[in-house]
Amino acid sequence: MTDTVSEPALDGLIAPGTRLERLGEGYQFTEGPVWSTRDPALYFSDIPGDVRWKWTEAGGMEVHRAPCDKANGLVLDRDGELIACDQVTSRVVRYRRDGGTDLLAFHHRGEYLNSPNDIVVRGADGALYFTDPDYGRWNDWIGQERSRTRFRGLYRVPAHGGTGEAELLVDEDEFDEPNGLCFSPDESLLYVNDTPRAHIKVFDVAPDGTLSNGRIFCEGVGMTQAEVDAATAGMTEAERHRVIHDAGSLDGMKVDERGNLWTTGPGGVWIFDPGGNEIGRFATPEVAGNLTWGGADLHTLFVMTTTTVHALRTLVGPATLPHH
């Protein structure tokens, strides 16, 4: 497989012949990338390795925190503080630069969360939106095997937390396993993907941050649950998860400044226009799990590719400039 992107449909987004640059290797499953303009640095998680990594142009790779409760998604709040979805403890936690921590979310109506997975900040008010599938309760590879709560939801918590209570934003049966999420450039839309259903939904965002009018944005990105069941009949749940992961599936997503949605999927990264039409795809050397923009001009796309981390120069940047 080539590491060069030469897809004519993507010429306005990625210059023809642009190569993926490998920044690091030897991880188990890379996830949750976020760029800090203050440092400047890339932070990301190696979930099974239980390590949070930091990469800088000058210093390369270094361990930022270990163990890290097998954190998955990472985001920076409007003050530039790092917030993590910790899968082992099923909590959303702020890790402050002064060494302190703030517990932001861990329950809903008296029940513990499953395993917070991916998280975004709403620029308008700093509120945190996160998905809560049960992947972190499946096995010890990406979390800790435990009993699971009765549904997998999409939640919100205030910018500075509160009692640890998470506000459910959709019906309990809205998703099977909600995963990646991102806002449109003007934050009037929130996109959320559902990995087992192989589709992405989009919701209207009201001025107060509540959601309505959930609808399918695009579908057919990866294996559906029926296809997974057929391919994994007789396997243990851990083996099923490996099959799903190795096939590539909907996972991390980001929106660019033009409103196009970039998501991981089978074979690499898929790109859709604001109307839900596929623009094109580009291949990655391994299964892609997540991605984010960063670099000095915010035109470098960092792609988490299982045991490796890659960077790709693009002709577009992220939907909104970071607040940090």
What pLDDT does 244 receive? Answer: 67
Cα 312 to Cα 19, 52, 84, 99, 271, distances in angstroms: 7, 21, 25, 33, 14
Compute the distance between CA of residue 217 and CA of residue 319 in angstroms, rounded to an integer: 18
> Looking at per-residue confidence, does 232 or 187 come out higher?
187
Query: Within a domain: residue 214?
Result: yes
What pLDDT does 230 receive? Answer: 85
Query: Within a domain: residue 282?
Result: yes
pLDDT digits (tens, 9 = 90+) for 266-285: 999 999 999 999 999 999 99
What pLDDT does 6 receive? Answer: 80
Query: Within a domain: residue 319?
Result: no
Q: What is the mean pLDDT of the chain?
A: 93
Sheet holding 71-76, edge to edge: 71-76, 82-86, 91-95, 101-105
What pLDDT does 126 receive? Answer: 96
> Looking at per-residue confidence, does 231 or 133 come out higher?
133
Residue 89's CB is within 10 A of a number of other CB atoms, namely: 19
Quote the tokens at residue 213: 């009018």
Query: Within a domain: residue 141?
Result: yes
Compute the distance between CA of residue 179 and CA of residue 151 in angstroms, rounded to an integer: 13
Q: Is 322 a residue whose pLDDT tops 80? A: no
Quote the tokens at residue 6: 């030469």
> Looking at per-residue confidence, does 243 or 145 come out higher?
145
Query: Within a domain: residue 153?
Result: yes
For the chain, how many residues are written?
324
Residue 271, domain extent? 4-313
Mean pLDDT of 279-295: 96
Cα 259 to Cα 116, 135, 186, 190, 264, distances in angstroms: 26, 29, 9, 12, 16
What pLDDT does 48 receive? Answer: 97
pLDDT digits (tens, 9 = 90+) for 166-196: 999 999 999 999 999 999 999 999 999 999 9
Quote the tokens at residue 4: 């060069």
CATH number at residue 77: 2.120.10.30
Q: Give the pLDDT band of residue 123 (cuts 50, 70, 90).
A: very high
Share of the chain above pLDDT 90, in %: 82
Query: Within a domain: residue 231?
Result: yes
Amino acid at 117: N
pLDDT digits (tens, 9 = 90+) for 56-109: 999 999 999 999 999 999 999 999 999 999 999 999 999 999 999 999 999 999
Query: Within a domain: residue 323?
Result: no
Based on the structure, what is the number of domains in the chain?
1
Query: Within a domain: residue 43?
Result: yes
Q: Is 1 a residue whose pLDDT tops 50? A: no
Q: Is 324 a residue whose pLDDT tops 80? A: no
Mean pLDDT of 137-147: 90
> Looking at per-residue confidence, does 224 or 112 come out higher?
112
Sheet holding 178-183, edge to edge: 178-183, 189-194, 199-205, 211-219
